[in-house]
Chains A and B, each alone.
Chain A
Amino acid sequence: MFFEPKPKSFRPVAHYALAMAVCVLTTAATLPLRSLLDLANIVMLFLLTVFLVATRLGRGPAVMAAFLSVALFDFFFVPPHLSFDVADVQYLVTFAVMLAVGLFTAHLASRLGERTEQALQSARETQDLYEVACEMAGALSLDQVSDTARRFLAGHDIDASILIAAGDGKLNMPVNGDHRLGSIEHSFAQSAYRRNEIVEADSLAGTGIAVAFFPLRAPNSVRGILAITPRTDDTTMLRASRQAIEAIASLVALAIERLHYAEAARRADLQIADERLRTSILSSLSHDLRTPLTTLVGLADSLAQMPPGHTADTAETAAIIRDQARAMYRLISNLLDMARLKGEKTPLRCEWQTFEEIVGSSLRLMTAAMGSRPVALDLPMNLPLLYFDAVLMERVLVNLLENAIKYSPDGTPIELAAHIEADALRVSVCNAGVGFPPDSLDQIFEMFVRGRDESNLPGVGLGLAICKAIVTAHGGDIRAKNRPGGCCVCFTLPLGTPPPIEEDAT
């Protein structure tokens, strides 16, 4: 029942024959009563016949029946019998009225029939569309949507292909279609999509290629193209089905849009869950690693403070344990930081502040590691306020200072310089070490890459990778370079437009 091709509603020759037979039958049935019935009543019987023919068999047979009835009435019933001659001229009026009433009845009755037929068909169409809509609302994939649409249009003797718009303004090949579109069809489809208009090429009907291209207009965008290929070369058929095709196109568009958003929502959900899992793993990992190390540092430090009854040697051993535990803590922190920074988005807590302040706090954190090394600071007075995340920027400086100390001989100076260059602050941290291997100046910012493979200095090669992640997140860049008698790591921090400062009273 669903999407069945509709039976052909008229088979003309049979209907005319049937109409003729009915008229003859009426004549045959009435003849024996010729002596009993008045002629006026016999006219009525013929009119009834015409009426029945009109309601059952349509307009053409009814018109024929009207003429035939007049002829039969004249021949068999009007004296003289078995002749078309008319004895009394007044019967001509009877014939005229009979013909007129017959024709008029035929017209009215057949029009009523057509209306009924139309109403039934449109009810069927509505029912079909309703079922299509229900099926599409429940569709879980583009294939299902495409199948439903194609099955419906097959009922109209039409083959259809659905082309889905890709993100880049191109159309993908048909979903699940058995009809491969040729290049002409594809360019028609492209043009319909680009202009968001229906494109028709009636002259190609019957050649087996698609002749009409309907944009799939959804509320938010055009989702693709519905390409229509009639199975016959009858273009009137296509025109008759146009409303149905447009209805189907909008249903398909809505279904595609719904699937699109469902997919986007599912992906967003997944991403949130992913991020949440990651954060919770990181925080529980960092908690579980931090607790034993805190205990270790604290207990070793208690021993290193030389409680009564301990020798200087024990205290020194305890101090080494403490320092190593701290070093391990730093390594773990680096790993966790890197994992955090490599997350989908690094949340920056940026504020307008002075760069000088971060230099001061970084140097204070490095006091112990710096020992007696001289620090050459080159920091101009009155640098503008910069917009950055203080905690992360301090990490960058601490990591760079740590590296500079680690990879240069004891007692040699560490340089920290900053100056404005074009639209950025350029900061460099330099040492008097042997420098980076010249062929790997860029790679040292990758994770787990170290300057010297043979090095037995501690570190897992994350320090510079973290610096790069932080600097990049701030919109700057970071580079390493060798120079005579040492090497430098330089990074930039973009200047912005700092908020104004209103001076107060003196």
Chain B
Amino acid sequence: MSDAATAVLVVEDEPQIRRFVCNALRDDQCQALEAGTATGGLEIVAREPVHLVILDLGLPDRDGISFIRDLRNWSAVPILVLSARSAEQDKIEALDTGADDYLTKPFGVGELRARVRALLRRQQQRVDAGAVHVFGDVAVDLSRRIVTRAGAEVHLTQREYHLLAVMVANTGRVMTQRYLMNQVWGPGHSQDSHYLRVYVGRLRQKLEADPTQPHYILTETGIGYRFQP
């Protein structure tokens, strides 16, 4: 799917993990660049065009968070973070600092590829933000602010629509609670995360076939949400 010019940088200190991640990328016709340290990784991004960075949060020479902060100062390249289970706070911090998605160790090649593709696709689609987004039997027309389900218009409140629009605009990324609260309710509402829960529940009831087992608006427990058309 990706052309040969798609370059992915893998910053990971464990050579064996780096090896199978790079192999999987090469199987997908990506050019895999490797770095064992944060400093080495930053040097590569500065020197060569890179379309995606896969970053292990536990690097020997530097904190992964400070790597992201540094990189975000001058580059918008998507970042996929590798992290351990039971390290939710690290993931949230990485995402709030500017990472786009995360994978929890241990992960399979299939999961890895799916995330990489989603992030690369997202990068290519960023240009046409005004299009009609379709998922399942739902169509979201961002330019006309109209949402239909199976052809019939669905009534959404302003907040519900706003929330849906933010989610659609962030397809393929993980959105932390804080990010969504900031985007939809504005800063200063980080203590009111129950609003987010309630509104996500309402969106699911209006748009999902089975609101309890959603297919599109997915919960990333302890972290936030993911919109997956």
List residues of A whose CB falls within 8 A of some B CB.
Answer: 286-287, 290-299, 301-302, 305, 307, 322, 325-326, 329, 333, 336-337, 340, 349, 351-354, 356-361, 363-364, 377, 379, 385, 390-391, 394, 498-499, 501, 504-506
Contact = CB atoms under 8 A, between A and B. Distances in A.
B73 interface: no
A196 B120 CA distance: 77
B135 interface: no
A364 B213 CA distance: 7
B58 A302 contact: no
Contact of A286 (B24, B84, B201): B84
A353 B16 CA distance: 40
A292 B20 CA distance: 12
Contact of B14 (A291, A329, A394): A291
Contacts of B157: 504-506
A231 to B, nearest CB: 68
B49 interface: no
Interface in B184-218: 192-195, 197-198, 200-201, 211-214, 218
Contact of A354 (B108, B158, B197): B197
A504 B158 contact: yes
B219 interface: yes
B43 interface: no
B158 A505 contact: yes
Contact of B105 (A294, A336, A360): A294
B222 A349 contact: yes
Given A340-B86, A361-B221, A506-B157, 18 more contacts: A290-B105, A291-B14, A294-B107, A298-B20, A298-B24, A301-B110, A305-B109, A326-B106, A352-B194, A357-B197, A360-B214, A360-B219, A361-B220, A379-B212, A391-B222, A499-B194, A501-B198, A505-B157
A294 to B, nearest CB: 4
A336 B84 CA distance: 13
Nearest to A333: B85
Contacts of B200: 357
Nearest to B214: A360
B27 interface: yes
A291 B17 CA distance: 8
A280 B20 CA distance: 29
A297 B212 contact: no
Contacts of A293: 106
Contacts of A359: 212
Contact of B193 (A291, A297, A352): A352
A385 B194 contact: yes
B105 A356 contact: no
B106 A307 contact: no
Contacts of A322: 108
Given A337-B86, A353-B194, A504-B159, A290 B221 contact: no
7 contacts: A291-B17, A305-B27, A353-B193, A360-B213, A360-B219, A391-B86, A501-B198
A181 B55 CA distance: 73
A294 B93 CA distance: 22
Nearest to B20: A298
A391 B220 CA distance: 9
B212 A377 contact: yes
B21 A499 contact: no
Contact of B58 (A287, A297, A504): A287
Contacts of B108: 297-298, 301, 322
B221 A298 contact: no
Contacts of B58: 287
Contacts of A352: 193-194, 197
B193 A351 contact: yes
B106 A298 contact: yes
A356 B212 contact: yes
B16 A390 contact: no
B88 interface: yes
B84 A358 contact: no
